[in-house]
Amino acid sequence: MLLAGKTAVVTGCLQGIGKATLIAFARQGANLFACCQQEDEAFSAFINELAGEHGVSITPVYFDLLDDASIKQAAVSIQKTKQPIDILVNVAGVTLDALFPMVTMAQLQKTFAINFFSQMVFTQYMTRLMLRNKRGSIINIASISGLDGNAGQLAYSASKAAMVAATKTLSAELAPQGIRVNAVAPGVIQTAMTENLPQEVVAEKLAAAALPRLGLAEEVANTLCWLASDAAAYVTGQVIRVDGGIGH
């Protein structure tokens, strides 16, 4: 198993890529801190079943990415377990789409607060835990929109571009401490977020792909497993597209 004996923190676990990542990491033997915004009875039952099936521990951690105090409290709760943190995957995100003339300051601020600012604050806390053991793997979920741009997604694209820049900067800063930092840029993946996109936009993206179909959340999660593992020990500062060859 790729992640046996490792402990991972994953945000945005309630659905989509985050939930698929929990499943993939548990199958690969990782113990997990599963982070999401609020307690959910169905989610609690799901992680209990998943943990039992694969013989790992999965601890739910609830916090609000718009609340700095809540982020700090979550980080402290993880620290108090005294488990060494090997992996952080920043999945949580939001998209508030609008054509440029209609984009509001509130949309920009909320998108950046969730997709970038809060992720960096939480990453600071988790990095301090990794530094104790001089090792770790941080993976940020970016997007092909952050690399290529996408009409109607100014706030989202810009926030994901910020994650790409942060990935490259942090990879340089943290490499001497044994911490690798990479990003994965998904394309059009079959998730609840994609369901909200106009069908013509989805069709246009798929028409430009070498593999003209929707990607699956588990296909992104499988890439995350490899990046998080020792099999990718010489990989840092990279942005890996999981997009079916869009714009190939």
Residue 14 near residue 94, CB atoms below 8 Å:
no
- Considering only CA atoms, give the Rg of the chain: 17
Cβ-contact 210, 244 below 8 angstroms: yes
Residue type, 58: I
Question: In terms of DSSP H, where are the helices of 192-237?
Answer: 192-195, 199-207, 217-228
Give the list of residues 6+ apart from residue 118 with CB closer than 8 angstroms, or none: 65, 66, 68, 71, 92
Q: What is the distance between the alpha carbons of residues 11 and 161, in angstroms, rounded to a whole number?
A: 19
Active site residue 156: yes
Residue of 62, 125, 156, 234 marked active site = 156
Cβ atoms of residues 37 and 65 within 8 Å: yes
Residue with tokens 């741009």: 149
Ordered strands of the 239-242 beta sheet: 58-62, 31-36, 7-10, 87-90, 136-141, 179-186, 239-242
Residues in Cβ contact with 49 at an 8 Å cutoff, skipping those fewer than 6 apart: none
Backbone region of residue 35 per phi and psi (left: phi > 0; alpha: psi in -120 to 50; beta: other values)? beta
Instruction: Cite the active site residues.
Output: 156
